[in-house]
Amino acid sequence: MSDHRPLAVVIGMPGAGKTRVGREAAQILDVDFTDTDIEIEKEIGMKISRYFDQYGERAFRKLESQTVINLLESCEGLLALGGGAPMNVDIREALADYTADGGKVVYLEADKREAMERASRSGNRPMLNGDADKRWMKLYEERDPVFHDIANLRVRTHGSTPRMAARKLSNMIREHIVHVTGSDIEPYDVCIGEGALNRLVEIIGDDVLRIALIHTQSVQRHSDQARALLRQAGYEVHDMVIPDAESGKTVDVAKMIWKQLGERGFTRSDAIIGLGGGATTDFAGFMAATWMRGIRYVNCPTSLLAMVDASTGGKTGINTEEGKNLVGSFYTPAGVLADLRALKTLPRDIFIEGLGEVAKSGFIRDAEILEILRDYAEDLRNFDGDAFLGSSLEDVVSELIKHTVRVKVYHVSNDLKETGLREFLNYGHTLAHAIEKLEHFRWRHGNAVAVGCVYAAELSHILGYLDQEDVDLHRSILSSLGLPTSWNGGSWDEVVALMHKDKKARGNTLRFVILDGIGHPIHLEDPPMEALVEAFDRIQTS
């Protein structure tokens, strides 16, 4: 987007607080604030109400259109439009161009009664002359559908003070949004930012009655926030607590949740929310995919690993005694809300684990991820949740999540059901899944992936695909982040037996993802056994 275009455009009904809230949000964001009504009054040298009386609405709308279109091309910071401006066809076309260029149009949704009272008190609103409340409601009925169509962001300010509403607005403007599309995918968004959970009601929609909030006890603080948002919006919320980590992804736990869904009358028009780490979002997606052959679900990841991996892409599943994620389906969520506030409560070792999947995405596609990891390795390794929000590291982590999600979305959008391209996301996972199984899931997934990436890099080098300096790059980046690069917890015979059960295997043929250079993954079928063993020896002695 052009440097001389607004950071965001705020629209809303008269009395929604566009000027007051927008001005405070601009202060929080440390940017300029421009109100089109104020700019017009400066230009005409009189109040808008007086201009209406002298020249009529048609003349004002023409002047407003010229002013808004000019400001969309020249204004920086936040731009608030007059209540009726988006009803102008020319302005709508200009806003469409602005959003197509990456711009954010935010619909400030206030409580109707609160907005009507503020609009009546303020005066200088010629469109509300006469019975102000009645005219406001008539305008609302005309404008609300148009505003919903124009805006790509919505901020509900019901019951909020102007400062609280401004904080919501500024958080949403800071958000990164990654769109997920594809031939087999109903489009959805991954929202990354502080306060992203506030979008939950918007994504669930108006047609849902019951919601199963699936979470673990360890994320109670975050589930309390989600529950409050949902109940305030009128949903019937049912808490369904499952065990932590991989112990929550079992057939027995699935049977327990299926029973609860049946007892509580869940139908195809109800919804599931998965709130927690990657195991929880995997499990919640599987429940949604299997209940009544598929109901709506939203993922709210609370760990870095879940934000960059499990919550996006539509892979759902549970574990069996024979292996990880062997029972599952491809079923995409209605949305993913990666709220950075959740990372505040994350222990350092669990945060670092998530960097294993981040680094993997850098190795297979996005070199900028590797540059960010190298530049900020010390800060990332010393992550402190208490000091995270509002720090410079928050922006770094937000960028890493955005880049990593984009890598995943690239592969998922082109190959939802993992027939080829998507398998590249499993770089490092063939050994990683074996490690997790042999360690009885005491090893965290991201740590196992880090070792698996080194193993795959060593195998790539032994077979002549990868230079030694690129293998060294794997070790240096991963170790600088505090991630493991070696493992000694099992024999080769145990490992290779589990590799034959990997989802990429075909019959008795082992298949690996290796690198033909950084950023260039390829498939490798049935590599020589001696090469596999040599690579294994190297990760045991590194």
- Residues in binding site: 15-20, 37, 61, 83, 125, 143, 244-249, 278-282, 302-303, 315, 324, 357, 429, 445
Cα 32 to Cα 35, 42, 88: the distances in Å are 10, 17, 25
Instruction: List Cβ neighbours of 248 (8 Å cut-off, separation of 6 or more).
Output: 216, 242, 279, 280, 283
Q: How far apart are CA 143 and CA 83, in angstroms?
A: 9
Residue 30 is which amino acid? D
* CA nearest neighbour of 470 among 478, 462, 461, 479: 461
For residue 82 the two structure tokens come to 């007059």
Token pair of 195 as six digits: 């306060």
Q: How far apart are CA 421 and CA 427, in angstroms?
A: 11
| Binding residue numbers for NAD(+) | 244-249, 278-282, 302-303, 315, 324
Quote the CA–CA distance of 523 and 518 in Å, as a whole number: 14
Task: Give me the long-range contacts of 262-267 (CB less than 8 A, separation at least 24).
Answer: 264/210, 264/212, 264/238, 265/210, 266/210, 266/212, 266/291, 266/292, 266/295, 267/210, 267/292, 267/295
Tell me how far apart the 2 most distant CA atoms of the chain are, in Å: 90
C-beta neighbour count of 194 within 10 angstroms: 23
- Cβ atoms of 500 and 511 within 8 Å: the answer is no
Helices marked H in 75-131 — which ranges?
A: 89-100, 112-122
Per-residue HEC secondary structure of 23-75 comes to HHHHHHHCCCEEEHHHHHHHHHCCCHHHHHHHHHHHHHHHHHHHHHHHHHHHC
Annotated binding residues for ATP, as ranges?
Answer: 15-20, 125
What is d(CA 318, CA 280) in angstroms, rounded to the nearest whole number? 10
Residue 352 CA to residue 124 CA, distance in Å, equals: 55
Q: Which tokens in the block code for residue 92?
A: 């709508």
Helix (H, G, I), strand (E, B) or coil at 185: strand
Please state the residue numbers annotated as binding site for Mg(2+). Answer: 19
Q: Which amino acid is at 87?
A: M
CA 177/CA 504 separation, integer angstroms:
31
- Residues marked as binding for substrate? 37, 61, 83, 143
Binding positions for Zn(2+) are 357, 429, 445
